[in-house]
Structure 1
Amino acid sequence: MQEDRRVFDVAIVGGGIGGTMLGAVLARHGVRVLLLEGSGHPRFAIGESTVPETTFGLRVLARRYDVPEIEHLATHGALRRQVSSNCGVKRNFSFVYHREGEPTRPDECTQYPTWGPPLGPDSHYFRQDVDAHMFHVAVSYGVTAHTHTVVDDVKFEEDGATLVTRDRGSFRASYVVDAGGMRAVLPERLGLRQEPPYRTRSRTIFTHMVDVRPFDRVAPPRAEHGMPSPFSQGTLHHMFKGGWFWVIPFDNHSTSTSELCSVGVNLDLDRYPRPDDVPAEEEFWQHVRRFPSVARQFERARAVRPYVSTDRTQFASQKVVGDRWCLLPHASDFIDPLFSSGLAVTVMALNALGHRLIEAVRQNDFDTGRFAYLDHWTKRMFRFYDDLVSCSYVSFDDFELWNAWNRVWTITTLYGTNAQNQAAVAFEKTGDPAGFDALELPPYRGLQGVDNPWVERLFDQARDAVLAYHAGESTKERTVARIYELLRESELCPAVWGTLDPQDRCPAGVFTLWPLMKILLWGKFRSPRHVRGSYFTGGGRMVGKEAIQAYTTELRAGGSQVHQTARDMWVNWNRDWTRRPEPRK
């Protein structure tokens, strides 16, 4: 009996958000799961900002595998109530362009909204709280978990693997999932790391701060910049030639119990090589002082953690699956924090891996071919995000170039998110989890709509136009014109959006209830043949039902959130950020 406590169906190495969600999913379906975490909880982790494809994917994951606690991470309201009030709200992606030595110009910013209630808004995860919560959820479903347990070696045999730990002896498992990060054990043990085959070459300096001023107090007035959502209530990107800052506040709503803000600067490694003799803190502030508007936002800010400065952040592995093992995406490859792709790819992989492992355990068949889908689509998504991010760094050369290229991303995001929603709508109608199998069939496979030939063609041709500009083979003006031409020819842009109007710098408008209905109506009745029938086929009834549920949930809880939830269903702008105290002098 004592020996059985060291024998498991699946061993997961790494107790972060990916490993714990997978553990909960597997244990919920009767799999004997061992989870080994080298450190403990709470602990610092990166990957703090969600995107709509992540949050919609979490809804799918929770409903497909009947783990409702995962859905608590999918909207800010549920996250705040069920997990942690230290997390921030994310109502938008805001991008503000900067020139060295000049204040930002009011017409050089763009914005893309996240979804309003009940499907949103998105969140800024205070990861030490979120990861600890999911760790406890996994244990509650029956996962055997050990923290402060370092895995020194993994020895594979024909019928499984032996995991050798530093202080707790050895464990046996039929299958091993590595949910570590860049220093994951299996890539090192199996010699999987390779020179990253990616165009993106960037590095990062980051920390957590207090007293970061809301950018709405620094930016030109709303009447001049015209953005529909407060900068401070989303993930803010300060762009400049060769780099960008992130500002991810956790203290940006009236019920937040945090004073923290995650900040970092990402730099093109070729334009800004890492200096040998400049401390991380000093280099960070050197870049802040280059841009007056950024400097004003940070003028009273103070770090509460040591600054971390990285070498090249991209890493890669030769493959994702092998005989009796699999890497989760954040153990396999990484591109860049831009567009918060890490969590999105992880959720996609968990959705595909969960049912494969459950069936493998039930059938005692762990043939590598069963998991080949994970290898192909994880790698394909990293190639896509490399193209997206590397071309974005190129577009930072000029605001008009960014303003055009950014629209391609908004379209791929729309179709990727709607693919997840199509599966959720099918499940809502039938209650049959088999409906989620559509996410592994054309045109919904992967993320960002890349499996749709029309979306793929638009993206590939726009990418080639940006790369031609980068190579000196095209002018900025020709490149911008070409991107708008491709967007027009694709017919993928909803008629209710301003995608084809360069003056509309928030072309998607807002995702409150009525604009959402207009997108659904366009898709169902007015979209071109290659869209109609595959996307936007329904969901209005589900959204209405969940809107009522969201309102009644807040009503039962009481307090100011009842008003805010009702308001946010219909109105995008608010002044909640003014209720937070000014930075101390």
Structure 2
Amino acid sequence: MNDPIEQFDVVVIGAGPAGAVSSSLLNQKGYRILVLEKQHFPRFSIGESLLPQCMTYLEQANMLEAVEASAFQHKNGAAFSRGEEYEYFDFREKFSAGWGTTFQVQRDNFDKILADEAQKQGVQIRYGHSVIACDPFADKRQLSVQSDNGQRYQVHAKFVLDASGFGRVLPKMLNLEQASTLTPRQSIFTHIQDNIDQPEYDRDKILITVHPLHHEVWYWLIPFSNGRASLGVVAPTELLETMLGSPLDNLQELVSQGGKLANILKNAQYDTQVRTLGSYSCNVTSLYGENYALLGNAGEFLDPIFSSGVTIAMTSAGLAASTVHKQLSGEQPDWESEYAEPLKTGIKTFKEFVEGWYDQRFQNVVFSKTKSDDITRMISSILAGYAWDTKNPYVKNPSRLSTLAQLCQDD
């Protein structure tokens, strides 16, 4: 006799930030939600520097209080270093309305807090359960699921949200993957006991350092509240392929070349596995389809330079949840105009600034001493995650960055 098929209004694939927030928002509307998570929490994840825009979605999902109670590192801006140059943007001094501060978080704890809060609100999460097939079925989606103990079962869902991150479950199953237009790059990263003893070092900001000789090579240093930090370097794939050491050796060698960064980290203890991630930029042919939509990294991932990943994930979760609610309420939402196009507004903005970082247009702006206070506030807003605020001229027309960079260079 066949096992009964379980019925849910929405199945969410993945319990990371996009999955937790979207499931919470839909649960608030009274829908029966199931989250299927392949891994067991807590688990390591990269992408620890949040942007203030995230706080809006944490509030909406009733998760902010739990996050604030968790003693994560306060964050109020982003600092940039290149040779002897040092500039910073204070997110509290920005063009857009909204939060000006946020947190720098160890993602294993942060993601578990969000998932736990979703469960407390009534969302069902099954850890160690993988979606192995997703097929259309009448006006639903039929998912084949396998637990990590080998159990298999079927689930019917009126709608499926893929929040699987780099796992990209539905893009792979439904042949939606598309090559990114961004240049392939690779990152090497780890967590360290930073032992930073310089009193002038600002733990309230992520520090982005440009390699003194290779402008396309950059480092992140994200301090946590417990004396530890996330450390990583991003470089063209072909450059890293010339380095013959272990990932740890290569990371330490590159840090030794990092100018001021090398001195900041002179006492650091490398006590955690060093990981690598290559060709991470990705895209899809469509962000939605028949009774499904892609959230966050499952749809498109740009680059870690501006810590936009979690912000895009949460924004997609908010947009998708409201559009799914319309559809399940009997309306016929236009997924292109109500989900894909609004989401792509912010992605387009971040993408222009990512490309501008690597071709040095945005580096020229960052390190310019002549940019006005108004321009600084507009740029600060984008770096704070407000890449959807079309009142900002650099969101309404991101290509204005080229003109700004030229003005900064000429000055």
TM-score band w.r.t. shorter chain: 0.7 to 0.9
Residues 274-283 or 203-212, more deviating = 274-283
Q: What percentage of aligned pairs have identical amino acids?
A: 20
Q: Deviations over 1:334-382 (max 9, x none)?
A: 111112111222222222222222232232x5x5734642222333432
TM-score, length-scaled by structure 1: 0.62
Structure 1 residues 372 and 41, CA gap change in structure 2 (3 angstroms): same
- Match for 2:224 among 250, 262, 271? 250
Structure 1 residues 303 and 415, CA gap change in structure 2 (3 angstroms): closer
Which residue does the alignment assign to 1:42?
Answer: 42
Structure 1 residues 119 and 161, CA gap change in structure 2 (3 angstroms): closer
Which residue does the alignment assign to 1:68?
Answer: 62
Which residue does the alignment assign to 1:393?
Answer: 358
Q: Which amino acid aligns with 2:67?
A: L
Q: How many residues align?
A: 397
Residues 184-193 or 121-130, more deviating = 121-130
1:121 paired with 2:63, answer no
Q: Which amino acid aligns with 1:264?
A: G
The alpha carbon displacement at 1:248 in A equals: 0.8
Q: Deviations over 1:27-63 (max 9, x none)?
A: 121101010000111111122112222224544xx1x
Q: How far apart, CA to CA, are the structure 2 residues paired with 1:396 and 1:298?
A: 28
Which residue does the alignment assign to 2:54?
Answer: 54
1:192 paired with 2:176, answer yes
Q: Deviations over 1:554-580 (max 9, x none)?
A: xxxxxxxxxxxxxxxxxxxxxxxxxxx
Unaligned runs of 5+ in 2: none
Structure number with higher relative contact order (C-alpha < 8 Å, ≥ 6 residues apart): 2
The alpha carbon displacement at 1:395 in A equals: 2.2
Q: How far apart, CA to CA, are the structure 2 residues paired with 1:210 and 1:406?
A: 36
1:379 paired with 2:341, answer no
Query: Contact 1:94 / 1:235 at 8 angstroms: preserved in 2?
Result: yes
TM-score, length-scaled by structure 2: 0.86
Which residue does the alignment assign to 1:10?
Answer: 10
Q: Aligned runs of 1:377-526 on 2, under 5 Å?
A: 377-395=342-360, 402-403=367-368, 410-414=377-381, 447-448=386-387, 451-452=390-391, 454-456=393-395, 459-463=398-402, 480-481=408-409
Which residue does the alignment assign to 2:293?
Answer: 326
Structure 1 residues 157 and 20, CA gap change in structure 2 (3 angstroms): same
1:231 paired with 2:202, answer yes
Q: How far apart, CA to CA, are the structure 2 residues paired with 1:91 and 1:143?
A: 32
The alpha carbon displacement at 1:26 in A equals: 0.9
The alpha carbon displacement at 1:304 in A equals: 3.3
Q: Which amino acid aligns with 1:110?
A: E
Query: Contact 2:104 / 2:223 at 8 angstroms: preserved in 1?
Result: yes
The alpha carbon displacement at 1:310 in A equals: 1.9
Q: How far apart, CA to CA, are the structure 2 residues paired with 1:97 and 1:273?
A: 20
Structure having the higher Rg: 1
Superposition RMSD in Å: 3.1
Q: Which amino acid aligns with 2:400?
A: Q
Q: Deviations over 1:53-81 (max 9, x none)?
A: 2224544xx1xxxx432x33xxxxx7342
Which residue does the alignment assign to 1:265?
Answer: 233
Query: Contact 1:356 / 1:371 at 8 angstroms: preserved in 2?
Result: no
Structure in which a larger fraction of residues adopt helix: 1
Structure 1 residues 369 and 396, CA gap change in structure 2 (3 angstroms): closer
Q: How far apart, CA to CA, are the structure 2 residues paired with 1:405 and 1:324?
A: 50
The alpha carbon displacement at 1:479 in A equals: 5.0
Query: Contact 1:353 / 1:371 at 8 angstroms: preserved in 2?
Result: no
Q: Which amino acid aligns with 1:172?
A: H
